[in-house]
Amino acid sequence: MASGPVTATDLRHRVSFGKRVEIDDGYGNTVGDFAVEFSCRAALRHRGGSEAVMAARLEGRQILGVYVRSSENTRRITPDWRMQDERGTEYAIDVVDSITDRRWVYLTVESGSAA
């Protein structure tokens, strides 16, 4: 996980999580689009300067570590879901860790990549 403990005062950002659902397009086909499942407060932390993070920044992608309180909703998040912040930036979810700390679910998310 990222450095330092997380506290309630670190939950400064509102994020929403959505999962892909099949929607009828009216022409007999289904298209996969994301539907918001829930919103919550989150602590967003920029990832360190590893080689992969530096390469992503050069390509205009941002990799973040995200902490959300562990709950029935947040424990349902999987890597095929998508996260969106209050500014509308969409993030693909790369890693979900709901086991290491019972109080927090830790996510690694990446903007600018296909969700």
Q: Where are the domains of the chain?
A: 11-111
What pTM was computed for the model?
0.79
- Three-point CA angle 43, 45, 48, nearest 5°: 160
CATH H-level superfamily of 11-111: Bacteriophage SPP1 head-tail adaptor protein (2.40.10.270)
Q: Per-residue pLDDT tens for 5-32?
A: 788 899 999 999 999 888 777 888 877 7
Polymer length of the chain? 115
Residues 13 and 42: their CA atoms lie apart, in Å, by 5
Q: Per-residue pLDDT tens for 28-51?
A: 887 778 999 999 999 999 876 666
